Amino acid sequence: MDNRGNDNVIDTIDSSEVTFRTAAQQVKRYLLIAFGLAILNFAYVLVTVPHGIINGGVTSFSMILSRLPVTDVLPVNAWVTIVTAILAALCCIFLGRDIFVASIYSCAVGVAAFNFFTLIVPAEVIDAMVRFGQFGPIGSMTMPDSTPVITVGLALELIAAAIVVGAGYYFCLSNDSTAVGMDTIALILHKRNEKIPVAYAMYAINIIVLLLGLYTYGLRCVIMGILFAGIQAKTLNTMLGFRQKQNPAAPPEP
């Protein structure tokens, strides 16, 4: 998985210059961030959670916690709230007030969006998505429980959701914000030791989450997660690259 898009966050955070924005520009900025977080969390609620697709993020980690024997007393949306709050606190303590203030808005909107969509999306819609994901087995390979490794329906849902999530992250990153996710830990590690590249730190974090997912969700879901993360990263980097061509003043692609 390519995490180069996350390095743009470092370029912004490490810069000593503060971009001046008019009130109208600030309103537009925060609306775009909210839009990105809304579509991102809608894809999580509609596709990744019902199908048990994990990709190394906060939602994936929360899905795993909701199934572990010690932590399964709380549902996924409760763990998303708790984990995000912990990461926001770490952001404030280790990354400083400026970054915390810029990220707290994303934190609040992201949690609200996930819980909102969890409440309003009808169970019938979720069931329909799950049934569509079982349509059209690709090949004859099956899991031990006779479940197809991948189907046409699941592949289409996975690709669509990954593109939407990648676009959601783009709207956050391109507006100088982070979604207070696992990238917070990578940023802290980078600040503590600049020799630790943010991309490699995020790779390590994703691997840890995926290994936990292997225990709780099985090999099939981990494979789906790897594919999802790859498409998501490709979408994000493509959109950031297009933005760089349209706006040369934006932080350069590493």
Instruction: Going residue by residue through the chain, which has 254 residues, state the pLDDT in tens, using 9 for 90 and above.
Output: 444 444 444 444 443 334 567 888 888 988 998 999 999 999 999 998 898 887 778 888 998 899 888 888 999 889 988 998 899 888 888 877 767 777 788 888 988 999 999 999 999 999 999 999 888 777 666 666 666 767 889 999 999 999 998 898 888 877 767 777 777 787 788 778 888 765 566 667 877 887 888 878 777 778 888 888 788 878 877 887 787 777 765 554 43
CA distance linking residue 68 with residue 175, whole number of Å: 36
Q: Is residue 254 part of a domain?
A: no
Q: Does some domain include residue 193?
A: yes
Cβ contacts of 247 within 8 Å, gap of 6 or more? none
CA distance linking residue 8 with residue 30, whole number of Å: 18
Does residue 39 lie within any of the structural domains? yes
Domain count, the chain: 1
In a domain, 221, yes or no: yes
Residue 253 within a domain: no
CA atoms within 13 A on the CB side of 210: 20
What confidence score (pLDDT) does residue 220 get? 77
> How far apart, in whole angstroms, are the C-alpha atoms of residue 77 and residue 237?
28
Q: Supply the range of the domain harboring residue 224.
A: 4-14+22-246
Closest CA to 174 of 5, 1, 4: 5
**Residue 30 domain-assigned (yes or no):** yes
pLDDT value for 8: 44
Q: Would you state the pLDDT for residue 143? A: 62
The residue behind tokens 């707290």 is: 104
Q: Is residue 252 part of a domain?
A: no
